[in-house]
Chains A and B, each alone.
Chain A
Amino acid sequence: MEFSYIFWWVIAWMIFWALVGSFVTRRIYLHRDLDTSNATFVGSMLGAATGPFGLAPLWMKSPDLTNRFVVFPALGAVTLIAAAFAFADPSNNCVANGSFVASQIVNGLIIGIIYGFMALGLSLIFSILGVVSFAHGEFYMVGGMITYFATVVWFPGLNPALGILIACAMTFALGAAFERMFLTPMYEGKIERPVEYGILVTFGLAFTVQYFVQAVAGANPVKTQRYIDFPRLRWPSAEDPWLVKSSRGNMELFDTVSISNPRFTAAVMCILVLCALLYFLHRTWTGKALRAVSQDREAAAIAGINPDRMNMLAFALGGMIAALAGAMLVQAFSWLPQVGNIPAMRSFVIVVLGGLGSLPGAFLGGIIVGLVEAAGTGCIPDAQKAASYIPAYGMIVLTLTLLLRPTGLFGRRFASGTHGKF
C-alpha cells in the first residue's frame, strides 16, 4: 500500500466515531423513551460514515430510525472505506484495473448466490423448528456424493439432471426420516432443554453421516464432468468478439469478465430453484402453511395446519436445498466427505447476517458474504495473505453483525424460539 497512513487514519477516525455514535445514540434514544432497536447500528454506521457532522443532527432531532437510516449510513461507511483505500493504494488492481474489479464482483455475486441458496435451507429449518441444523454441511456433501455416484458410478452416462433429482429425493427422504426419528421428542415436551438437544442431535447426525460416507465411499477426491458445455459463441463478430466469447468451460463478457461454466450453471440453477421455492411458499397451500407455522404455530394449528407435518417438511426441504447446492457444485469443486464443512460454516455466518429465520435475509446475506470475500481476496495488497484470510472475512462479517445488529438484516427479534412446541 503506497500511502497506508491515509487508509489507517480514516479507519481509526471511522472506528472512533462509530463507537461514539453507537453508545451515545442508544443512550439518547433510551433517555427520550424512543425505540432503540436500530439505535446502536444506525449510530455506529452514521458515525463511521459522517463523523460528528451526521451524528449531531441525529442526536438533536432523534427521528424514527426507519430502514433508510439503516441502509444509507451503511452504504456511506462502505463508500468511505473504498475511497480511503483508493487514495491509499492507487496502483492496486481493485482501484486501477476495471476489468479486474468487474471480474471480482461477478465472482463474488455468483458464489454469493450459491452460498445464499444453501443458507436458505438452514434458515428455513430454523424458522419452522427453531433448530440450528449442524448437519447442514453433510446434506450438501451427500447431495454431491449421490450425484457423483448416480452419474459416474452407478449409471455412467446418466443425464446429470436425473442424478440431481435422485440426490434431491434421497436427501429429502433422509431429512424427513431423521426429523421423525430424532426431533419429534422436542415437540412432545420429552426434552428438558430442546435448544441444546437440537444442537447435539444434529451434530451427531453430522458426524455419523460424514464418517459413514467416508467408510462406504472412501475419501478420494472425485468430481463429475461439466453438466453442460457452453456453445462456442463469438459476438458480435468472430474477429472481434468483444461482447461474448465462450468456450466449453468458460465465458468471457466484454473482454473482461470471465465466468466458469460450472459456477454459472450452479448459480442459474440456484436462482431458478429459488424462484420455484418462493412460488411454493407464497402461492401454494402447503407453502403458506409453512410460513404460517413459522409465524405463529398455535394460530396455524387452530387454522387446521398440522405443525408436526410442517416440521418434517421444513427439515427435509432445508436439507434438500443444501443437497442441491452440493449437487450443483460437485462439477466445480472436488468432492470429499469433508467437503461440506466450509459451506456449512459460511451458511451459519450468512443466516446470522441475514437474520435467523429470514429467507430473503439468507439470500441477501449470501451475496454480501460472497462480495466481501471477493473484495478481500482481490484487494488486500499482500498477495501472500489475501487468500489466506478467506475464512476470516466471513468471521469479520459475523462479529460486526453480532456487535451492531444481533438480529441481522431481516431477523425478527423473537424469531421462533418455540423449538417445534406449541
Chain B
Amino acid sequence: MKNWRISIVSLAATAALSAISLSGTAAVAAECPIKLGGLAPLSAPGTVVGGEAMRDAMLIAEKDINEAGGVLGCDVKVVIADTEGLPEKASAVMEKLITQDNVVAVGGGYHSSVGVASKDVADARGVPVVFAETWNDTITGDKQKYIFRIAPLSSWASATIWQAALLVPNIKKAAILTENTDYGIPAAEETTKGLKANGVEAVTFSVDIGTQDYAGIVERIKAENPDYIIVLATGEAGYNFTQQAADAGIGPMDIPFQAGQVSLESKAYWENVPDGNMAFVQRIGVPENLFNEMGKKFTAQYKAKTGKGAVESYAMEAYDSIAILAQAINEAKSTDGDAIVTALENISFEGTLGRIYFPYGLKKDPGADGKGDEWWHQWPDPALTMIQYQKEGQNSGDSPIVWPDAYKTGPAIYVKK
C-alpha cells in the first residue's frame, strides 16, 4: 500500500516536473526569434524615401544576421515601425514595440524629433536604442543609459555645412531654408553661427515639415539676393522647395545651392527636381571606392534588392544600427537591457560605415576628455562629405565628392549668379 502511494506520488512528481520542464522549453522557444525594433518614417509628413531605404537596409541586416547563425541560437526578427516623422507617433510606436512586440532593443530612426521624443520612452523601460540617422545633439546629450547613436551630431554636421559654404567664391550672404523641427532649427542655428563667425551673413526661413507651396518664401529669398542657398528640410519638402526655387530662377543651376540630404535618393530627386543639376548634397560615410568589405557586400545586396544605382548613407546607418545590436546581444550572451548596454559600451563593430565604437558612457564620462555631454554614447568617427550632382540624372554614388580634401574625387563647380 505504502509502495503504491509512493508510486502515485512519484508519478505525480514526475508529471509535475515534466510539465515544468515542458513549460520551460516553451518559454525558451517563445523567446525565439529575438525581436529588434526598427524605426523608419514610412508615411508623410516623414521622409518616406529615406524611411523606405532604411526599412530595406534593416531587413537586409536581419537576413544577414540569420544567415550567419542568428543571435544566441535564435533567429532575429526586425519589427519595422512607422514613425511618420512625428514625435507623438514616435513615442507611441516605441511604447508599442517594447510592450506589445516585446523587442529587446531598437535600431533605425531618421528624424531628430523622433529620436528626441522616443528616447525617453525607451530609456524609462530599459530598452537599448541605437539611433541611426537622428542628429539632434540632445539625443545623446541627455546622457541616458540606454541611448546610443551612430549618426553624426547636429552641431558637427552643421560645421561641415558652413565650412563647405565658405568655399563658395565671394560669398557674403547665405539663405537657409529649414524645417522647424528638432533637426532643422538647431542645425540652422549652428550653421548661422559658423557663417557669421567667418563674416558671412545668414538669413533663415523656417517652414512646417509638410509645406508644399514655397512661392512666397522663394520671392523673399530672391529679395535677399543670397550668394548661396542651404536647404535643411527633409522629405518631399526639400524637393518642392528646390524645384520651385529653380522655377523662379534661384535654383541649383542659377546660384550655388545645397539641397536637402534626401536628395541622395537620386531617382526620386531627378523625378521631383528635374532642374536640380549642380546641387550640392551632404553625405555621411566615405566614398564607395573606399568602402570596406562589409560596405561593399551590403551595397551589392542593397542595389539588388532596391534596384537603385547607389546606396544612401542613411541606409548604411540603418543596417549598422541593427547589426551592431545583434553583435552586442551575442557578446552580452543575454537580451537583458543592462547587459546589452555594457556590451555596446565595450563593442568594436566592423560595420558598413567603418569600425563603430562608443568611447564615452558609463565607463568614461565625455567631460573627462573635455568633451560636451553630446558625446555620450556617440560614435565619433562618421565621415562627412559634400557631393555635387554635375550631370542630369546622375546617381549620387557616382557624383564627385567635392569636400573635404581628404575624400575629394573631383572639383566643385560653382555656377555664377
Q: Give the interface of A toward B (CB within 8 A).
A: 93, 97, 100, 103-104, 107-108, 110-111, 214, 218-223, 225, 249-250, 252, 258, 260-263, 332-334, 336-339, 341-342, 373-374, 376-378, 383-388, 390-391
Contacts and interface: CB of A to CB of B under 8 A. Distances in A.
A221 B269 CA distance: 9
Interface of B: 42-45, 48-49, 52, 180, 203-208, 210-217, 219-220, 222-224, 235-236, 239-240, 243-244, 246-249, 268, 271-272, 274-275
Contacts of A107: 215-216, 219
A261 B45 contact: no
Given A223-B272, A336-B44, A387 B207 contact: yes
6 contacts: A222-B272, A334-B236, A337-B44, A377-B216, A377-B220, A384-B205
A220 B180 contact: no
A345 B247 CA distance: 26
A333 B274 CA distance: 13
A258 B212 contact: no
Contacts of B244: 260, 332
B223 A93 contact: yes
Contacts of B210: 338, 341-342
A342 B209 CA distance: 12
Most chain B C-beta atoms within 10 Å of own C-beta, residue among A97, A221, A339, A388:
A221
Given A97-B223, A262-B247, A383-B205, A334 B274 contact: no
Contacts of B247: 249-250, 260-262
B266 to A, nearest CB: 13
A391 B206 CA distance: 13
Given A104-B219, A262-B247, A388-B207, A249 B275 contact: yes
Contacts of A100: 219-220, 223
A416 B156 CA distance: 60
A351 B215 CA distance: 23
A385 B206 contact: yes
Most chain B C-beta atoms within 10 Å of own C-beta, residue among A108, A223, A250, A263:
A223
Contacts of B271: 222-223
Contact of B206 (A260, A332, A388): A388
A337 B204 CA distance: 29
A333 B272 CA distance: 8
Nearest to A263: B215
A378 B45 CA distance: 25
A26 to B, nearest CB: 37
Nearest to B212: A333
4 tightest A-B CB contacts, nearest first = A377-B216, A260-B247, A221-B236, A338-B44
Nearest to B250: A258
A110 B248 CA distance: 15
Contacts of B208: 388, 390-391
A383 B215 contact: no
Given A220-B49, A222-B272, A260-B244, A386 B220 contact: yes
A250 B250 CA distance: 11
A227 B86 CA distance: 34
A103 B223 CA distance: 11
A387 B236 contact: no
Given A219-B52, A249-B275, A387-B205, 7 more contacts: A97-B223, A218-B52, A249-B246, A378-B220, A383-B224, A388-B207, A388-B208
B312 to A, nearest CB: 13
Contacts of B239: 221, 223, 334
Contact of A373 (B216, B219, B223): B216
A386 B175 CA distance: 14
B48 A336 contact: yes
B220 A221 contact: no
B415 to A, nearest CB: 15
B342 to A, nearest CB: 39
A169 to B, nearest CB: 25
B43 A383 contact: no
A221 B219 contact: no
B157 to A, nearest CB: 20
Contacts of B224: 383
Contacts of B214: 387
B252 to A, nearest CB: 13
Contacts of B240: 333-334
Contacts of A111: 213, 215
A78 to B, nearest CB: 18
A342 B212 contact: yes
A146 B180 CA distance: 32
Contacts of A260: 215, 244, 247-248
Given A258-B249, A342-B210, A334 B216 contact: no
B119 to A, nearest CB: 25
Nearest to B245: A260
Contacts of B216: 104, 107-108, 373-374, 376-378, 386-387, 390
B203 A383 contact: yes
Contacts of A378: 216, 219-220
B347 to A, nearest CB: 34
B274 to A, nearest CB: 7
A219 B207 contact: no
B206 A387 contact: yes
Contacts of A263: 215
Contacts of B42: 219
Nearest to A338: B44
B272 A221 contact: yes
Contacts of A97: 223
A336 B215 contact: no
A220 B48 CA distance: 6
Nearest to B235: A221
Given A250-B247, A260-B248, A374-B216, A383 B204 contact: yes
A148 to B, nearest CB: 10
A99 to B, nearest CB: 9
Contacts of B44: 219, 336-339
B215 A219 contact: no
Nearest to A341: B210
Nearest to A221: B236
Nearest to A224: B271
